[in-house]
C-alpha cells in the first residue's frame, strides 16, 4: 500500500485564539475547533488524562492542514519555540506565498519578525524565516517566475 498524503502538521500553542488569527492572516482557513479528551486520546498520544482544545486550519488549495493544539491538561512539559534553526527535531513549517514582502507586512502587524533576511535562491525562490505567534518558527517561500 502506498502513502496517500501528509494529513497535517501539529503545533502546540498557549494562545489558541491568537494562533488562529495569525494563520488566518497568512491565508489558512479555519475548518473547525474541538475539545479532545477521553481514554482513547491518551492511548493514541501516550499522554493520559489529556484535555486538549484543537483548531484545524486548511491551506487555500485544500491539500494541507495545520492542527493547532492548546493543552488544558496535563500541563505542557517542554518549550521548543525558541530553539535555533539548527536544533534537532521538528523545526518549522514552510508556506508558499504569492508575495513575500506583502505577506511580511501583513504578518508584521500581528507581531511576526524576521529571523534573518529575505534572500533569493538562484532565479527560483525568495525565502525567509520568521518568528510568528509565541515565537513559532515559520518559513515563507515565494516562487519566482
Instruction: Determine the CATH number of domain 93-143.
Output: 3.10.180.10
Q: What is the pLDDT of residues 78-129, one digit of tens each?
A: 888 888 888 888 778 999 999 999 999 999 999 999 999 999 999 999 999 9
Burial class (CB in 10 A: 0-12, 13-18, 19+), 120: exposed
pTM of the model: 0.90
Predicted confidence (pLDDT) at residue 13 exceeds the cutoff of 80: yes
Q: What are the start and end residues of each CATH 3.10.180.10 domain in the chain?
A: 9-73, 93-143
CB 32 within 8 A of CB 56: yes
Kindly report the average pLDDT of the chain as a whole number: 93
pLDDT for 78: 85
* Architecture of the structural domain at 9-73: Roll (3.10)
Identify the CA nearest to 139 among candidates 35, 4, 9.
9
Amino acid at each position: 500500500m502506498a502513502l496517500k498524503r501528509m494529513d497535517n502538521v501539529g503545533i502546540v500553542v498557549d494562545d489558541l485564539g491568537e494562533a488562529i488569527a495569525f494563520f488566518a492572516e497568512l491565508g489558512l482557513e479555519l475548518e473547525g475547533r474541538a475539545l479532545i479528551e477521553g481514554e482513547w486520546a491518551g492511548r493514541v498520544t501516550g499522554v493520559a488524562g489529556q484535555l486538549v482544545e484543537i483548531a484545524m486550519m486548511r491551506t487555500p488549495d485544500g491539500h494541507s492542514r495545520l492542527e493547532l493544539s492548546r493543552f488544558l491538561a496535563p500541563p505542557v512539559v517542554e518549550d521548543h519555540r525558541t530553539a535555533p534553526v539548527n536544533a534537532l527535531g521538528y523545526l518549522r513549517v514552510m508556506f508558499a506565498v504569492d508575495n513575500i514582502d506583502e505577506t511580511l507586512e501583513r504578518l508584521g502587524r500581528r507581531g511576526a519578525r524576521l529571523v534573518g533576511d529575505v534572500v533569493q535562491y538562484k532565479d527560483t525562490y525568495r525565502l525567509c524565516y520568521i518568528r510568528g505567534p509565541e515565537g513559532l518558527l515559520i518559513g515563507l517561500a515565494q516562487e519566482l517566475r
